[in-house]
Chains A and B, each alone.
Chain A
Amino acid sequence: MVKKSIVQALLLGLVAAMPLTSNSVAADKFVTVASTTSTANSGLFDAILPVFEKKTGIQVRVVAVGTGQAIRQAKNGDADVLFVHHKKSEKAFVAGGFGVKRFDVMYNDFMVAGPKADPAKVGGLSDVVAAMKKIAAQQSPFVSRGDDSGTHKKELGLWKETGIDVISQSGTWYRESGSGMGSTLNTAAAMNAYVLADRGTWLSFKNRGDLVVQVQGDKRLFNQYGIILVDPKRHPHVKAEMGQMFIDWILSPEGQRRIGEFTIDGKGLFVPNANG
């Protein structure tokens, strides 16, 4: 009797293991997209991917990490398509022979969120660099992504324009969370700190606490997303055909329309701009 139950447990284990192998073989029609937490956390993919999958039968598997890590994954050949938001790095990726060609997909903007009380008095400023100087001057807490993501790179670029060496301040009023956009917003909300965030994640974020948008509208806060097919000449296993189909669809009038139609609480998160 005891023997029987042990044998049964072993069989159960086998049965549990079985479907996995069949599963991964059956769903061979898929592309892997390395993308960013800001796009994934906003809910954009949940809204638009089912349309593409239904139309083509190709499953889109999104691995959402920071832009820096996404680019590294794509360089290693662990993704077929790269969908991120840091134009300079994307161009370097293509120039380095890792990607075929880069296309603009859509944009939104970054904004600086901060506590309602606004201790640095930056509310309503349209000059983001001036606002960041004030935050630094007040030594008001500021939470940085600190994870080599597109947002992080953007933020460091803005600090450079202020001429302030924030890295030397790290650990005092300037705090690097080293995590994704959402986790960084959680941290900022808990600390009542200022934070640079992309609008998509901000709008879909539910744990804002006392944080409100303080600075927006500066053209330097422009946030362009691009899409690139990983070069099959570099990584022959890349699913170039299906990857290209996905890119074509994203850039097509239908894909662009779907992106434009994606809203949260009636607010659009991304503006499609594939055609200029």
Chain B
Amino acid sequence: MSDFAAAFSNAVSLIVELDAGLAEIVLLSLRVSMSAVFIATLIGLPLGAATAMFRFPGRMSIVVVLNAMMGLPPVVVGLVVYLLLSRAGPFGVMGLLFTPAAMIIAQTVLIFPIIAALTRQVVEDLWEEYAEQLRSLGATPARAMPTLLWDARFSLLTTILAGFGRASAEVGAVMIVGGNIDHVTRVMTTAIALEVSKGDLALALGLGMILISLSLGVTGAAFVMREAARG
């Protein structure tokens, strides 16, 4: 139990002293995960909405694959992205391995299926309700898609937050493709893993508390935004 007390005082002192190293790690974590969420949203919303609204060959396969990919193991994603970005791999010439860009790619791969699959579910339910009315008003399916995405905005915000939660919590993928390089690719989760392997459990736990607070902060901010928009 002394570990918890030490962890708590560690977390507090890191925050109170505005530890520069910590600030760098936190900012990088946010930048990587938010960028991944941003890109995954750009891919996932239209993809999810399209599979909800259109009947085309292979649609069911896409739905099944997306649903299955929601549970992709981060380590496997990291390994695949590593093999693709390695100098020996097909995209090696871009020199992206061990950079934040590689981490964004890995996290995007990890979370766009979540965003797409949940979007499909939300949009499909709404489309069932709206389809006749929108077609009666003269909306083509292409015109109806942004309408549905907009009208589902509150549910979709939760979907996007789910993606952010998974991105910011995973360690397996960013560890492999980022390399946990100090000042370059070290993020909250890899820093925690490092402190665990150094045996500094109290510091690791302290960092964990900060990560959880961050996650709470982002979710809370989104919730406030949503309530404000509603009111």
* Interface positions of A (Cβ within 8 A of B): 1-2, 5-6, 9-10, 12-14, 16-17, 19-21, 23-24, 27, 30, 32, 37, 41, 45-46, 59, 61-64, 73, 75-78, 179-183, 185-186, 189, 204-208, 235, 237
Chain A nearest CB from B43 CB (Å) reads: 13
Q: Which B residues, 113 to 148, have Cβ-Cβ distances below 8 Å to chain A?
A: none
Q: Which residue of B lies closest to A6 (CB)?
A: B153
- Pairwise interchain contact A24-B197, C-beta atoms closer than 8 A: no
Q: Is the CB of A63 within 8 A of B37?
A: no
* Of A16, A32, A63, the contact of B30 (CB 8 Å cutoff): A16
Question: A274–B221 Cα gap in the complex (Å)?
Answer: 55
Other CB < 8 Å A-B pairs besides A30-B184, A63-B179, A77-B86, 15 of them? A5-B229, A9-B225, A13-B34, A17-B104, A20-B31, A24-B100, A32-B179, A61-B181, A62-B181, A62-B182, A73-B86, A76-B92, A179-B197, A182-B196, A207-B200
Question: Which residues does chain A contribute within 8 Å of B35, judged by CB atoms?
Answer: 13, 16-17, 20
B104 → A minimal CB distance (Å): 7
B87 on the interface (CB 8 Å rule)? yes
Given contacts A182-B197, A182-B198, A206-B200, whether A63 and B34 have CB atoms under 8 Å apart is no
Q: Does B180 make an interface contact (CB < 8 A)? A: yes
Can you show 21 pairs from A to B with CB atoms below 8 A apart? A5-B229, A6-B153, A14-B38, A16-B34, A20-B101, A24-B101, A27-B184, A37-B197, A45-B182, A62-B182, A63-B181, A64-B180, A76-B87, A77-B88, A78-B86, A78-B88, A179-B197, A183-B197, A206-B198, A207-B201, A237-B87
Shortest distance between the CB of B23 and any CB in chain A (Å): 14
**Contact present for A12 and B34 (CB under 8 Å):** yes
CB pair B87–A5 under 8 Å, yes or no, is no
The reply to whether B196 and A61 contact each other, CB–CB distance below 8 Å, is no
Overall SS of chain A's interface: helix
Count contacts between A and B, CB distance < 8 Å: 109
Q: Would you list the 9 A-B pairs with minimal beta carbon distance, nearest first? A: A182-B197, A207-B199, A77-B87, A13-B38, A63-B179, A76-B88, A17-B35, A2-B229, A206-B199
Q: Which residues of B contact A12 (CB under 8 A)?
A: 34
Contact assessment for A16 and B31 in the assembled complex, using a CB-CB cutoff below 8 Å: yes
Tell me the bound Cα distance from A73 to B180 in angstroms. Answer: 14
Contact B184 A61 (CB under 8 A): yes
Contact of A46 among B93, B104, B182, B199 (CB under 8 A): B182
B18 contacts the other chain (Cβ, under 8 Å)?
no
B100 near A183 (CB under 8 angstroms)?
no
A16, A41, A186: the one contacting B38 at CB < 8 Å is: A16
